[in-house]
Copies of this chain bind each other. A is one copy, B any other.
């Protein structure tokens, strides 16, 4: 049983997507994977706004300087939480959203669906497009779609794409 490890090892960022919608059951399963993530004291302080309309995806691509891939995605998921920058708010809102996002991206990968996160820089624009309340915040949007190049799903990882294990791993103490 090494499928999880294989997914982790082979998953790559996909920013160029095939021009066809996701199967509805794939959309549901991806979001459901996010829903199943653990969260601080199981508070689940997240909502997921799924966008599949092309015109809306194209608008969403303007929420940040590195979000252009959203325009061509089959679906985007906006992760909406209470605002972690508010007084007394916890950074765990962002941490928990990351846990949920990785679940979604790994579940997608198993379904043959590529993904890429985009950081939201233009909060008012994201709010206008996604319609979430004033007390919420959308820090990240995930693009999903079948890769334009299906070989993305099976290509061996690029050499040098990650810092070596010996560099990131410290034993007992830094």
* Copies of this chain: 2
Residues of B within 8 A of A92 (CB): 119
Number of chain A residues whose Cβ lies closer than 8 Å to a Cβ of chain B: 77
A108 → B minimal CB distance (Å):
9
Known: A9-B36, A31-B165. A110 touches B4 (CB 8 A): yes
Known: A98-B96, A106-B4, A109-B4. A173 touches B35 (CB 8 A): no
A122 adjacent to chain B (CB < 8 Å): no
Q: How far is the CB of A105 from chain B (nearest CB, A)?
A: 8
- Between A107, A170, A171, the greatest number of chain B beta carbons within 10 A of the residue's beta carbon is seen for A170
- Name the contact of A35 in the complex, choosing from B4, B99, B168 (C-beta under 8 A): B168
Candidates B8, B40, B50, B94; contact of A33 at CB < 8 Å: B8
A3: nearest chain-B partner, CB-CB: B3
Q: Which residue of B lies closest to A133 (CB)?
A: B174
* Contact A174/B49 with A35-B165, A98-B99 known, Cβ cut-off 8 Å: yes
Is the CB of A68 closer than 8 A to any CB of chain B?
Answer: no
Interface residues of A (CB under 8 A from B): 1-5, 7-9, 11, 13, 28-29, 31-38, 40-42, 44, 46-53, 56, 66, 80, 84-85, 90-92, 94-99, 101-103, 105-107, 109-110, 116-117, 119, 129-133, 136, 139-140, 157, 161-163, 165, 168-174
Which 5 A-B residue pairs are closest in the complex by CB-CB distance?
Answer: A98-B98, A3-B3, A102-B102, A4-B110, A131-B174
